[in-house]
Every structure is written in C-alpha cells, then in structure tokens.
A and B are shown apart, each in its own frame.
Chain A
Amino acid sequence: MLRRSLTAIHITLFSAFATLFVPAPDAAAKGAPPKEKATETSSAELAALDKALKGDEDSVVGALQSIDDGDKVAAAPLVAKLLGRGGTEKVLEAAMKTAQKLKVESLSVAIAPYTRHRSDEVRRQATRALLKTKGPIAVTTLEQALRSPDAVVRGTAASGLGELHAHAALPELFLAFDKGVPEAAAALGQLCVGAECDQFIGRTGRVGFDVMQTGFDQILFRPPSEVSDDAKIKLVGKLRELGTDEVGKYLSDVAERWPKDGSKRVKQVIDSAAHSVGGGVKQ
C-alpha cells in the first residue's frame, strides 16, 4: 500500500525516542562510524560535559560547542540524552548542529521527534541533521516528513531520501514530486531503476524543465552499474525530441561536465544532440 499508516510510523518513532529515557550510556556510541578525525575523550571529560549539558543555556551551548570543536564522538550519547530531555530553541539548534557534525547514526532516534516540532527552525534543523546521522530511523522519519505541512521540511526530506539511497521511498517521492515538491526530482533521478527512470522521464513536459533537469543530471551521471548506457542514451534522445533552447544549453553543459572516464558512447550521443538542438558544444 502506497500510503503507509501514519499511526504505525508515529509509534515506531516515538517509541524509539522513549528509549532515550532509559539509562544506556553506550547505546548511542554503538552506531558511530569509524572517524579519522574523532578524538579520544576521557571519562573525566565526558563527566564534565555531562554536567555542563545539565546546566543553564550558556553552559549547554558551550558544552555542545566543545563537542563540535573536538569532534567528540564519544559524547554522542550525552547529546542524545540532552535531546531526550529537551531544551530551549537555542540549545536544540546547537544540539542539531552538533549531531550533524558527529554524524552518529544512533542520534537519529533522538532527533526524529524534532522533525515535527512546532518551531520552524528546530524542525528544519532536525530534518537536515538526519541527512547526516542517517540510518533506518532517519529514512523512516524523512519519509514521514514528506507529509509535513512545512514545504522546507518536505524539500529537505526529499533531497535526503535521495542522498540516503532510500529506494523504498520511491513511491512517496513520486507522489511528492507530482504534488509539487521540486526537490523530489533529484532524488528520483538518484534512486530510479529501469522503468522507474522512464516513469520519471515521462513527466517531461508536464513539469518545468528547470525542475526536471535536476533529476536528469542525476540519471546521466550515475555509474553504468546503476543506470545503463542505453537508458542514458534513451534519455538524451527524449531530450533531443524536446528541441528547446534550454535543452540545448543543458546538454552542452552536460557534455562539458562529462567525466573523462565516462562512457564515450553516451558522450557522443550527448554531443550530437546538443549540436542538433543548437546548444553549441564547446570542444
């Protein structure tokens, strides 16, 4: 079923958030990816940070800044606990920035509820943070965020689902795209496979070219293992049929950006189409 149960998603996210209230200091750190830059943080330092994060607004923001600056991944559980407790808008925004910097997947569960906060800024920061913390919770939350009343959140969620390679979200992305979420175009271009790409390309003419081209770009520059040369050539052929100035300019631009080790066959077709449409390929 295309429309997932909102209640079911809600239960998943908020139940997960509730686990933040159960003392589990190492839980968040478990999702941390190995980071070259990450610095060792002593337990004394963590204790000091924990104390500072329970202080007043300046103290909390200062501690978050310190975690940021030191890229202290080990402090991720403390950030998760802070988000679980809640804070002022200033604190929450700082915490979201820290989470983005730490890129620790287990922070996603603490961030998720904030994508539905009443404060625009908190909500948007939280959605952006999920793009960095990633993971299944982030994907589920971003899918849910496509349904948000906030257009900025919807757009960020659409972009994020593309970035996070959330292929399962394709039906929702198509729906969002058809309902005027332009950011979904790039995501669709990033995620589509075979007939799905045709489905996206089929929207050409119904949606402004400036929006469509963000998706075309993704399709054309994806590796051959994801999108075959034939599919790319088919897309270029479709664009050539449009024959407008903006298509010509776009194809010329693609030709210029085409990677040196990219498919020669596809490049040839792009050059030919650009010439034919009148975009003037620079050699």
Chain B
Amino acid sequence: MKNPFFAPAALVAFAALVTGCGAGSMKTSAFASDWQSDNGKSIAAVRAHLASVPVPTGRGMALGITKTGLIAVALDGSSHWSYSGVVDSRPSIAGNVVVSTSKGHLFALDAATGRELWQLPIADKHLRGAGDDGRTTVASLGSDAGGGGIVVAVNRSGAVVGKWAPTVDVGIPAVLSDIVFAPWGNQYVSALSLTTGDEAGRLLARTVVSRATAIGGSIYFGENTMLRFDDAISQAATTGGHEVKLAERELPGKPAWYPTGTRVLPPEAGAPDAIRFYARPAEVGDKLVLDSQRFAATYFRIIVGFNEGDGALRWVRTLPAEVIGGDAAAGGFAFCDVNGDVWLTAARSGGDAGHVSLGSKIEGCVVDGGDFKIAGGSDTGTLAEQITHAIELGDEQMATVQRFLLRELGTNDDPTITKTLLDLACNARTQPDVLAEARSLLASRRTGIEYMIDALKQHYDFLSDVLRAPPVGPLADALSAVGEKSAAPLLAAHLNDPSDTPDDVKRAAHALLTLATASEFDDVRTFFSLYRATADDDALVAAVIDAAKILVHLGGADGVEVIERAVNDPLTEPVVKQAISSLIPAKTSDVPHAATRAMSRR
C-alpha cells in the first residue's frame, strides 16, 4: 500500500492547491463575512435540491493507529486489514473510505480492504476531518497552529473536483452529490457547489457547529447538539429545526460529545479521547431522539450509560483497559481500548454484546458505527452490582469517576448498597477520595442497619488482617438518626479503641448521648477517665464532654460523683473542666432531676 500510483489528476490538483489557481480552484462568494441572514431560504433550497439523494452509511468499523500505520477491523469481525505508513493526524472514517495525512500527503483508503484509493500532496497541512458520499471525498485541512486551512474535494480517481482556501477555520465537512457542507465560525455551514465553487446556501445555527457528519442515512451539523439536515433546516436559526442534544450531567473530566472540528487532532489519543460522550441520533415516529434512548460517557476504563430524557444513570460497564475511542451504532456502542480490543455494548442495558480485536496495542482509535447493529448484551447484574464492580477497581486514575458513581449509588435505598459502601470504607486498599465519599454517604444511609451493626462489631485487628477500623463516625451518625439502640454497646466499645480516629470517637460519643443505656456506663466511664486529662485534640475533648453528659445521665449519683471528682481534680484538662462543671447538680439530693436537666440542656 505504499508509494501508490500518483494519478495525473492529482498532479493537477497539487498545482491548484499550491498556486490557488487552475483546475479545481474556485474564486467564489463562499465564506463571505458580510453575509446577511436569509432566514433559512438558501439552505432550504439546498435541502430541496438534495431531498431525494440518499446519504450513504458506512458498514461499521474500528481503525487503530499504531507507530507504524493503521489497522482496521469491521465491527462484525468480517474483515481485518493493515496499512503501513505513519499518519500525522487523526484519520477519519467517512462512509466507505478512510482518510488521513502522512508526510505532506492526503490519502484515502478503501475502508473495506485498506487498499489505497488516491493520494495527493498537501504541503504542511494536516487533516481536521473528512466526509464522503460514495463518489466524492471532502477533507478539511489545516496547520497544527490553526489557520491556513483548505477544503478539498476529491473524486475516486484522485482528481480534485473542488477546492477552497478560506480565511476562516473550517471544521469537519460532509459531501452529498454536488454539495459540500463546510461548517465554520461555530455557527455557519456553507453549502458549497462543486459545480461553481460558489456558496449555494448557508445555514445559520443557534448552536455551536464545527462538524458535518453522516449518521444513519442523514447529515447532521453540530458539536454538542446535533442538528439534522432535513426539511426543517430552514428553521434552524429561529426555532432550531430538528435537533438532539444530551441531557446535562456534571461528569468528571467534563466530557464532550464531539471535540471541536476545527482543530487538527494528533494521531495519538489523549485524555479527551478517554473522557467522551457517545450517542447516536435516530428518528422514532417523527421525532428526533437518541437511539435506544441512551447516551454513554467514558472515563478511561469505566463507561456509564444514561437515560436520554433525565440523564439518569442506567448502567455502568468496566473494561479491562483504557478506552481511547468509540462510536454509537444502532442499538449500542463500540468502545476501543488501548489494547486494540473493541467492546460492543448494548445501549439499553450496558450488557456485553461481544468484542472484536484489532490484534495489537494501539496509540489512537477511530470508530464509525455506520449501519452496524448491536443486539443482545449479556446480563451484567443490577446497577448497584455494576457500580460496585467499578468502584472496587484499585486504579488511582479512576478515583474521580468512582466518587461520582458512589454519589449515584448513595441515592439508592437498597440495603445492599449500605453493604457495598461499608466494604469500601473498611477496605484498607480503598483510595482516600473514594473512602471519604463512602464515609460521607454512609452517614446519611437509613437502610441496611444490620450491615452497619455487623461492621461496628469489627475493630482493627492486626492478626486477622482487619487493617482499617470500620467507619465508626458515619455509622454513629446513621444509627443515632434511626435511634438504633442495639448499636450502643458497640459504639461504646469503639470509644476505647485507639485505631478509631478522634473524629470517629467524637461522633460515637455524640450518638451515645441518645443511644446509651446503663449497660454502657462502664465503657463510657473508662473512656472519660482515660482522656479527661489527656485529650489533646478538639474532637477528643468534645467526646470527653459528651461522655461526661452520658455519665451524669445514666449513672445517677455514681455518674455525678465521677464528674464532680474530675471537676475538682487539678489534672483535668481546663477546657474539659469548664465544660463539665455545669453538669454537676446544685444539691446531691436533687441528682436524678439535675441529671435529667443536664441532659435536656444538650
């Protein structure tokens, strides 16, 4: 596939590209900056002109970028090919061709076989993106630094059939019959005539437009909202035409549906490729919606599926390696990972719908769903189980999305969620951010009490490999909120466990104010005695003061005596002494009443 035949037509085109004149060079009204809105008339005329022209769809394929070239696999696994030649920009899969740039040349390959269709020189330009209608390929090229762009249309024999060198940055173009759609200025799509080179019409959109792309037999314009090129296109500037967008979700890494089309993307994938939204517009009835009513977001190894309307989390899938590319197909998604595996995922359930392999590790990946249909999908458990699986990944890079998933998990009242959170909070390998989130959620849980009680029975135990104390503080908050008296002895035991943090001890003591019974008196008194003169931390001081209140409340005369002695003992921490002195009743005979009053003052 290297050094292919360089068609004479391409030589002519090269002259055109370099000199800006001759065959294919068009001095036109295109991209005029003084254009006045025509209220959609001109673009409506273009639509009418193309109404009966079918938009070809690709067959569904994944293209891997390696250090030495390209490797491809059809999503149905039916074909596999490779191409030798280092690419210097992110390739585009456009219909049935693959387009990229390499060493000053723009080239196109047959997407089914990898056979080179044509190649032409482009000097120092690189590919921004390309479109194809089965006969003509259109490519937007630019320099790395931006500006200096050209749009070039090439037929299957390699002849340049159209070329524009606008002063504006043109995004990813599409082509249909004799019209090239060139998005620019974030709001315009110029419909350029391949016959005259003139602008046959222009779309003014209300949303950001940096790409034109063919999906499922229609052409769409957009970036974060996709506007369909159909009979309503004339209303784009007013009512918006037929458009589809994703429900707003604040997600880690701030994924985008598509990257801006006016930039040249490097061949190697970066973080923005690992953090992306995927969705496919589809028509249901006469409404433009998302295929399967789902959109997906990737965050390295974790993929989450959302409901179209409200953006509610529907499924989570965890892959073995970082996702660096993908696309939405009909009924599902295809995600490509760094190992060269392409994972097919059912859109509705997130279930595993099979996978194909590119055969080796890759640096970048481009996937085109085309008209490939993803069906089935294995049962991957409940949403809670899926989230749990994702959260249990011991991968530091995943901590941000794991926290997000934890918050989602926390909104579910299922008692087993409490167990999941406890497992995380008790696991010594859980990362600090995830641990903090799990603890925070546990404090507000009101279900799964039995799991909380079981967790409180645990203490740090070197011999039994219990190397992290349970989340005593959050459990104390939760159990006191539901008035779970059976937690009292367990919380009291934790007061005297040095493995628990001072904050946990503080919260345990506070919970005991409402939960403790006479059975906890001894533990509380021991705690008070050990720390009334050694508490060197605000949280511990607060715990000691609460312990004093409990002693007065539960211990009657004995409790008051302990506190009285502490108040009169020069060794008691002054701050403790000051706080507990008010707990002593005025007269010994009034003790029970005074103790009650002391408790009611809390």
Residue ranges of A at the interface with B (Cβ–Cβ < 8 Å):
3, 6-7, 10, 14-15, 17-18, 21, 54-57, 60, 84-89, 91-92, 113-114, 116-119, 122-123, 146-150, 154, 172, 175-176, 179
| A148 touching B462, Cβ below 8 Å | yes
User: With an 8 A cutoff between CB atoms, is B570 at the interface?
Assistant: yes
| A119 touching B534, Cβ below 8 Å | yes
User: With an 8 A cutoff between CB atoms, is B498 at the interface?
Assistant: yes
Query: 10 closest pairs, A vs B, by CB?
Result: A86-B529, A18-B522, A56-B570, A147-B461, A118-B498, A88-B533, A87-B571, A175-B463, A147-B463, A147-B462
Residue in B closest to A18 when the chains form the complex, CB atoms: B522
Chain B residues positioned under 8 Å from A123 (CB to CB)? 498
Chain A residues positioned under 8 Å from B558 (CB to CB)? 21
Chain A residues positioned under 8 Å from B528 (CB to CB)? 86
B454 CB to nearest chain A CB (Å): 12
Point out the residue from B457, B534, B562 that lies within 8 Å of A117, measured CB to CB.
Answer: B534
Interface centre among B525, B526, B565 (most CB of A within 10 A): B526
| B526 touching A18, Cβ below 8 Å | yes
Measured in the bound complex, the distance between the Cα atoms of B285 and A267 in whole Å is 98
With contact pairs A10-B493, A119-B534 given, residues A149 and B460 touching in the complex (Cβ less than 8 Å): yes
User: With an 8 A cutoff between CB atoms, is B414 at the interface?
Assistant: no
Point out the residue from A18, A85, A119, A176 that lies within 8 Å of B565, measured CB to CB.
Answer: A85
| A54 touching B569, Cβ below 8 Å | yes
Chain A residues positioned under 8 Å from B497 (CB to CB)? 116
Interface of B is mostly: helix
Residues 398-427 of chain B: 1 if any A CB is under 8 Å from the residue's CB, otherwise 0? 000000000000000000000000000000
Measured in the bound complex, the distance between the Cα atoms of B540 and A18 in whole Å is 21
Interface centre among B459, B498, B522, B562 (most CB of A within 10 A): B498
| B522 touching A7, Cβ below 8 Å | no
| A89 touching B534, Cβ below 8 Å | yes
User: With an 8 A cutoff between CB atoms, is B532 at the interface?
Assistant: yes
Residue ranges of B at the interface with A (Cβ–Cβ < 8 Å):
457, 459-464, 493, 496-499, 502, 522-523, 525-526, 528-534, 540, 558, 562, 565, 569-571
Chain B residues positioned under 8 Å from A86 (CB to CB)? 528-534, 571
Residue in B closest to A89 when the chains form the complex, CB atoms: B534
Measured in the bound complex, the distance between the Cα atoms of B103 and A145 in whole Å is 70
B39 CB to nearest chain A CB (Å): 75
B559 CB to nearest chain A CB (Å): 11
A173 CB to nearest chain B CB (Å): 10
Point out the residue from B502, B534, B540, B565 that lies within 8 Å of A88, measured CB to CB.
Answer: B534
| A7 touching B498, Cβ below 8 Å | no
Chain B residues positioned under 8 Å from A15 (CB to CB)? 522
B556 CB to nearest chain A CB (Å): 14
Measured in the bound complex, the distance between the Cα atoms of B458 and A7 in whole Å is 9
Measured in the bound complex, the distance between the Cα atoms of B573 and A91 in whole Å is 13
Measured in the bound complex, the distance between the Cα atoms of B461 and A7 in whole Å is 12
| B571 touching A56, Cβ below 8 Å | yes
Chain B residues positioned under 8 Å from A154 (CB to CB)? 462
Residue in B closest to A173 when the chains form the complex, CB atoms: B463
Residue in A closest to B537 when the chains form the complex, CB atoms: A118
| A85 touching B569, Cβ below 8 Å | yes
Q: List 14 A-B contacts (CB under 8 A).
A: A3-B461, A17-B522, A21-B558, A57-B570, A84-B529, A85-B529, A86-B530, A86-B531, A86-B532, A86-B533, A88-B571, A116-B497, A117-B530, A179-B462
Measured in the bound complex, the distance between the Cα atoms of B523 and A146 in whole Å is 22
Residue in B closest to A84 when the chains form the complex, CB atoms: B529
Point out the residue from B460, B523, B534 that lies within 8 Å of A92, measured CB to CB.
Answer: B534
Chain A residues positioned under 8 Å from B461 (CB to CB)? 3, 6, 147
B416 CB to nearest chain A CB (Å): 25
